[in-house]
């Protein structure tokens, strides 16, 4: 039976990736092996494999779900000034309130609250 999930991405520097995901975002380093670090988000794992040269996928978004819209706003205030940051707002197509930043390799990172019917 499956017990969890890891989604892998490439990165140029595990040190820079650690600085972003551990020191800035507060994730826990769950597992390491040469050239690979896996971070625990609390509800799944995010793995990065070091590669000297690679191209970002045409579209990729690493989304973290927040407990409520106030948490989205709190994280926005915490991360203000980070690369690629956008102001929090409702999504024009989906029932989502979110903002975006970029990690050291240019991956889009989203902090979102999926707003279910009856929630604000």
- List where CATH 3.10.180.10 sits in the chain: 1-51, 60-120
Evaluate whether 62 touches 56 at the Cβ level (below 8 Å). Answer: no
How do beta strands 108-114 and 96-102 pair? antiparallel
- CATH number for region 1-51: 3.10.180.10
Q: Which CATH superfamily is domain 60-120 in?
A: 2,3-Dihydroxybiphenyl 1,2-Dioxygenase, domain 1 (3.10.180.10)
| DSSP secondary structure of 22-85 | IIIT--EEEEEETTEEEEE-SSSEEEEEE-SS----SS-EEEEE-SSHHHHHHHHHHHTTSTT-
In this prediction the pTM is: 0.90
Dihedral Cα 79, 81, 82, 86, nearest 10 deg: 80
One digit per residue, pLDDT tens: the chain, 120 residues?
888 899 999 999 999 999 999 999 999 999 999 999 999 999 899 999 999 888 888 888 999 999 999 999 999 999 999 999 999 999 989 999 999 999 999 999 999 999 987 666
């Amino acid at each position: 039976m499956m017990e969890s999930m890891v989604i892998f991405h490439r990165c140029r520097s595990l040190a820079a990736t650690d600085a972003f995901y551990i020191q800035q975002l507060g994730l826990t380093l769950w597992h390491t092996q040469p050239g690979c670090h896996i971070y625990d988000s609390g509800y799944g794992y995010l793995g990065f494999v070091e590669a000297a040269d690679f191209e970002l996928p045409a579209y990729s978004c690493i989304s973290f779900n927040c407990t409520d819209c106030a948490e989205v706003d709190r994280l926005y205030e915490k991360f203000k000034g980070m690369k690629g940051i956008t102001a929090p707002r409702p999504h024009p197509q989906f029932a989502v309130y979110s903002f975006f930043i970029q990690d050291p390799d240019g991956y889009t990172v989203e902090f979102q609250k999926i707003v279910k019917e009856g929630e604000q």
